[in-house]
Chains A and B, each alone.
Chain A
Amino acid sequence: MHELAARLANSSVGVDQELEREFEIRLVESSTLAFRVAYSVLRHREDAEDVAQEAFAKAFRSFRQLRDRERFRAWLIRMTWRLALDRQRAEGRRIVREMAHQPPAPMIPATDEAMVARERADRLWQAIDRLPDKLRIVVVLANIEEHDVGEVARLTGLPPGTVKSRLFLARQRLREQLQ
């Protein structure tokens, strides 16, 4: 009886170690992806890292159900996206509150080239932010790590045809807004 219990305990430890090893592999291969997804929403490095970290912590808790690579990445992306949106809404409310009580920051002088680039980037992000969530996630994922339509479909859980049409719509709207 004791032998059986010991064997069960040993096998349990072995399973745990194997899980941790697998999780480490997933962490290394998906950390940049999760960070960039969070960054596409928040555009703040520290906040994006916090959100990605939170998503990995949640993924670890449910890792027994997420051992498959594709399933893990899809779950991680959706979780990161949701957490980032939540953080963005919370931050938006906080910033509005703080700006109501603070004087405007002094303007920092910048070169013309830098200013133009910055304006262009701001316009791009504003255009992306104006997209509906379902179009935004598709266009962001398609531009991270050179994902093709099939990969975006797997990550979002959508049919490839839907991804293609949403990508087309998103690009069309971005083009209209940026012209």
Chain B
Amino acid sequence: MNNHRSDDARDESAIDREIKAALSVEPSPEFLARVRTRVANEPAPTGWRLPWVFAAAGAVVATIVIAVAVSRSGQRTDVNSIGRAPWSAKVVPEVPVTPPPAVPVEQPRVAESDMKPKRPAIVVSGFSRTEPEVLIDPGEARALRRLLAGIRDRRIDVATLPPELLQPLAAIQPLSAIQPMAPIEPIQPAAQ
């Protein structure tokens, strides 16, 4: 067993010696000079020149871009109300600007999809809708109108109505209290 191992080791060292001898070849004396000439003809090593300069410049540019983006996103919320000039009015097919009715019973606002298309009105684009739009089902609105008209005309006896229905109606003002809105004339464009 030991003899077998020592034979293997001897073979290995003999093989290694042979390989070493076979590889102990020296390049020609001109080899280095030829490599130098070849390298001298090569373009300069690629890569970043002065990488720290570019890194610093990149950091500055990134900071500026982020600062501008942040400041703009802050302004964007105010653009609708103050960002536009008053003369930037434009014609848009929309409902005329009117304040919401004091009594929603008489002229309930219905979903925009149910409204008839109206004449394009001039609105100031800087207008901001601060109040939430109240959406009432058209059928419900009609029924409510009929009920109120019936009470007014004394066709419906209030006493027969359930009390929980009458409770909210008590707060409704009479219709005569509502002043009709004066029609809003479209703004004529200024003469050139």
A residues neighboring B (CB under 8 Å) = 8, 11-12, 15-16, 19, 23-24, 27-28, 31-32, 35-36, 39-40, 45, 48-49, 52-53, 56-57, 60-65, 120-121, 124-125, 128, 139-140, 142-144, 171, 174-175, 178-179
Contact = CB atoms under 8 A, between A and B. Distances in A.
A40 B43 contact: no
Given A52-B27, A56-B38, 17 more contacts: A28-B32, A31-B27, A31-B32, A32-B26, A35-B31, A36-B23, A45-B25, A49-B31, A52-B31, A53-B34, A53-B38, A61-B45, A61-B46, A120-B18, A121-B18, A124-B19, A125-B22
B42 A57 contact: yes
B15 A174 contact: yes
A116 B50 CA distance: 60
B112 interface: no
A36 B44 CA distance: 27
Contact of A36 (B25, B43, B47, B49): B25
B36 interface: yes
A175 B8 contact: yes
A144 B47 CA distance: 32
12 contacts: A12-B50, A27-B39, A31-B31, A35-B27, A40-B23, A60-B45, A63-B45, A64-B45, A121-B22, A124-B15, A124-B22, A128-B19
